[in-house]
Structure formats: structure tokens, C-alpha cells
Chains A and B, each alone.
With several copies, the nearest count.
Chain A
């Protein structure tokens, strides 16, 4: 079971939504987790006591096997099992490094599977935010390789 903690980013986002939309409250529940944000705007008009609160209620999760986290946003995931190479050959310059801008279809790394070198192409144009694997690292299907945004 995950540690009982508030997702700060989510709360800030909801607070912004309240401001933008002029709503007084947003409550959202999914998969046994629930969050409610209240602007307290109402309470200003009356007894100021009411909670201008952020409550995150931890509903005990159903005893399902804990699922793995999904890949981060903008992640390029491995389409196959194999060994990942960041450069065309040992000692050569890496195809890309963090900060590089890439164009859609540009080779960003290679995965060797069954002695075949498979070039992995950038799915979209963008900037390489992070490279998540080391050169020569074995990777499995669906493993996050790098983040391009």
C-alpha cells in the first residue's frame, strides 16, 4: 500500500482550476483514492469556520496486487527485448544527449536483439529531457528509454 501523502502537484493544479473556473469545490475519486478541494469562497460569505480545506481521504485500496507505475509522460518505451546502445559503435558520439532537439523519425538509440541492430526513432519532434538507460544496458519490452518533450 502506498504511503499516505498528498500529491502536491495535483492539489496546486486543482486550486488553479478552482480559480480559473470560479468553482467552489472539486471532488474527484478514482481507484479507491479520493481528493476534495474547496475554495472556501462560500464560507467567506458566512460563518468563517468552514474548512477552506484540502482533504485527501485515503480509502483503503482493494487488496489487488500492486500495479507497476506507468511510464512517465513523454517517455519513449522499448518496443522489444534486447540490449540498448546509445551510440552507433563503441567510443562513438551518442546519437542524442539531454538537451538535444530531435526531429520526428530521427534515430535516438539502437536495440540489439538476436544479433540484429534495430534503430529506435524519435516518435515526435522535441527536446531530449532525460536518457533513462546506460549504454549497453539490457532492456525489456515497455521499459522507458528516454524522455522526449
Chain B
């Protein structure tokens, strides 16, 4: 097992990883920008190294600085966390080249799943159902017309290098196709410096269902059931729950096995998530995240498995501590992402947190690096806390979430707690009757 792990991230996820390391008796190194000198994970770490100024490109994306920090502190592994360099194959390779373990999948798997077109091809090869559409990049207008016709309208035009909704356009008929095709390419070029786009079937009322998997370096892969992340705004997840109110045991077992078998074939050896659109009983591959997910606690609450601990164990070469038959889904869990933003306008609200009081008691978990007096820097994303509840039934966890939201106090800055309170009181949500477009409508209407 590792002696010392460098955590190349910030905020609540850096703290989450620190906690796992402390509980495994592993010493931690926090790296931070000058803006995060007072962060809780920095204060709690065994050692800390300032790696650069506030802008991410000069600090949390500064590979040289991070690897130098690992060298001077003698860390034997680097955990990249979520975002930043976590899916950067070049970084993973550089880390390994310096004789340090990268706590994540092999670089080739980061490359494979990092490009949407490659990823879709791989998914098909491994027997994962995909959204029908173009085999790869659209070669031109004629090609676009033909494929859209075969796929059947409405169709979605998507940037190959895309993400976060950039370079995405819907065409409901051939009349709209060309305009959408051109706009998508222009946006793709602007956002990713690459105007390659592809076409796929557009689903009108899908849910976002993702399967958590974990593999080790001994060929074992296990799936830990799904998470329902359909509640999104601008393609950002807002609230996640598991099990999904829309899946039955047969569907769960089927898609779980497909995902796990695919990862076995692929030889995947870390935590990962395969995201699907789910509509009318069918699953369609969206993409694979070759890293930990922000919403991983939802799965931890219903399986009792510490995903970060297990991720570190397998990275050290240890085999998985459980088999598929050991995994049981117990009760129901919900996570609210609490952001430093205006609940009406969604504008970021950085600044000093005058009061922080976390909800407590039975079945409540708060993952947050906030403390009273902490300044939320304006340089990074607005996620400041994750409120997670667990109950024996979905209704029990809904009731628990309601009372936990009443107890949360975050003073001095605006947060989206009021949005969550309204959201969980909405009949559609209480009935589990929502798709990936529901939240946008809800926000627009209320």
C-alpha cells in the first residue's frame, strides 16, 4: 500500500480523498494555488505545497508543478480527483514515467474514452448499446442528410470533441438540418478548436442513468448499480438519486452486467462510470467517465462500499475486496449539489462564508470543505457542498432530505439550497416522474 499520496485537486473532493487516505493510514500531500492557501484540505493534510497562482492553468492544470511537488515531498502516488487533470492521458503517462502511481485507469483507456467518436466505437465493440447515428465524423452536407434520414428525425448534431452542451444542435426535420449542422460545427470549432461533428438519434424524454463500475489489475470488474442523474440544468447535474425510480431489478441487472462485461473485455482497472440515456426501457450509451464522479457518495450510501478507498487499493495492485455477489443495494440515497450561486439567476456567488452549519443526525452525510470564515474563491467552480441522505425507502430519504435542508446554514453567500427545497416539494419529483429536461422546465415555470 502507498506510504504517501499527493492529492492533485481542491475543494470538497480533495477533502474526500484526504479522508479516505487518513482512514487507510496513508500520509497526504495537498497541493494548492495561492487562492486556496486557507482551504480545509490544505489545513488537514500532512504536508502542503503551493503550486501556483489562482488560474487553474498555472496551478491545478500545471503538470510540471504537480509532479515536482510529488518529487520534493516523496509521494509514491497521485490522486487526480475529479476534473482538472483526472482524465488527461498525457498527465497520467508523465506521472508513471516519473515512477509515481497514477490513481486511475491506464492512459490508453483515458485516450479511448476521451474522444466521443472513439468512445462510441469502443462501446459498440464491447457490446454496449449506443444511440443510432453516424459511424463517425460527418464528412459533409450530403453525408449529414443521408445519415439523418437513415437515423430518423429528430436528430442531434454533436461535436466530436464536445462536452458541457457546447456544439450541440437538434434538427427536427431535414429543413432544419443544414442550419443546425453549420451552427454545431462553428461552435465546435470555437469551443474545442475542432469542427468535427457527428449525428445521432434525438431522444425526446430520456432519463440520465449511469452505471458505477470498478475493476482491479487482476481482471475483476464489478458494477455497483445505477444512479439517476436526470435532474440537470445546462447539462450540469443538480440532484442525483439511487436506485432510479424508473428502473426495475431486471433492467438493473441487465445493464449492469453489460457494463461490467464490457469493462472486463477492455481490461479497465479503476473506478469508472458509464452514462446512458434511458427511454422506453432501452439504454443508449452517452459516454464513459474514466474517473471518480462527484455523485459517487450516492452509490456508497446504498452499497456500504467506500469507493475512494477501493480505488486507492486497486491502484496499489490489490484485488477488489468484494465480488459481484457481495454487492447488495440497501435502501435509497439522494444527493443535493449545493452551489455558491443565486437560486434564481444562477449567477455565481463567491465570497466569505460568515456561518456554516452542516445538517446532522441519522442517515445524513455532508461532504464539504466549507467552514465559518472561509472565503469561496471566484476562480473555480461553484460546488461548495454535497448533502447526501440515506433511508430504508425512497420516501424515508425524501422526508430526511427535507428536514436536513431545513438544518443547513450557509451564511454570507447565496446558495441554491432554496432551489433544492422547492425541487423536492414538486409532485413530479416526489413521484419520480421526471426526465433530463424536467428541471429546466421546472426552473423556467417557478
Contacts and interface: CB of A to CB of B under 8 A. Distances in A.
Contact present between A and B (CB < 8 A)? yes
Given A140-B69, A141-B34, A64 B51 contact: no
B69 A81 contact: yes
Contacts of B352: 62, 64
Interface string B386-415: 000000000000000000000000000000
A143 B51 CA distance: 10
Contact of B51 (A66, A114, A140): A140
Contacts of B433: none
Given A113-B64, A114-B64, A138-B72, A81 B49 contact: yes
Interface in B324-370: 352
A81 B66 CA distance: 8
A82 B126 CA distance: 44
Nearest to B48: A140
B153 interface: no
Nearest to B40: A65
B72 A141 contact: no
Contact of B68 (A62, A63, A113, A142): A113
B138 interface: no
Contact of B50 (A64, A114, A142): A142
Contacts of A66: 38
A32 interface: no
Which bracket fits the contact residues of B? 20 to 34
Contacts of B69: 81, 140
A67 interface: yes
Contacts of B372: 63
A42 interface: no
A6 B375 CA distance: 26
A63 B354 CA distance: 8
A23 interface: no
Contacts of B374: 65
A67 to B, nearest CB: 7
Contacts of B38: 65-68
B53 interface: yes
Which of A64, A65, A114 has the most chain B CB within a 10 Å cutoff? A65
A83 B52 contact: no
Contact of A63 (B51, B64, B65, B373): B373
B72 A64 contact: no
B426 interface: no
Chain A interface mostly: loop
Of the candidates A66, A67, A114, A140, the one having the most CB atoms from chain B within 10 angstroms of its own CB is: A140
Contacts of B64: 80, 113-114
A64 B49 contact: no
B260 interface: no
Given A68-B37, A140-B49, A141-B50, A82 B68 contact: yes
B42 to A, nearest CB: 10
Interface in B36-91: 37-38, 49-53, 59, 64-65, 67-69, 71-73
Given A64-B373, A81-B65, A114-B64, A141 B52 contact: yes
A65 B373 contact: yes
A68 B48 CA distance: 14
Contacts of B65: 80-81, 113, 141
B50 A82 contact: no
Interface in A55-85: 62-68, 80-83
A67 B352 CA distance: 13
Contact of A143 (B50, B52, B71): B50
B237 to A, nearest CB: 29
Interface string B12-55: 00000000000000000000001001100000000001111100
Most A CB atoms within 10 A — which of B68, B69, B72, B371?
B68
Interface string B305-321: 00000000000000000
A139 to B, nearest CB: 8
A143 B38 CA distance: 16
Given A65-B373, A140-B49, A141-B51, A114 B67 contact: yes
Nearest to A116: B64
A149 B121 CA distance: 62
B34 A64 contact: no
A111 to B, nearest CB: 9
Contacts of B373: 62-65
Nearest to A67: B38
Contacts of A80: 64-65, 68
Interface string B81-117: 0000000000000000010000000000000000000
A59 to B, nearest CB: 16
Nearest to A143: B50
Contacts of A68: 37-38
A67 B375 CA distance: 10
Contacts of A82: 68, 72
A116 to B, nearest CB: 8
Given A63-B372, A81-B51, A141-B50, 5 more contacts: A81-B65, A83-B71, A113-B68, A138-B72, A141-B65
Interface of B: 34, 37-38, 49-53, 59, 64-65, 67-69, 71-73, 98, 352, 371-375
Closest 8 CB pairs of A and B: A138-B72, A65-B38, A81-B68, A140-B50, A113-B68, A65-B373, A63-B373, A81-B65
6 contacts: A64-B373, A67-B38, A68-B38, A81-B65, A140-B69, A141-B53
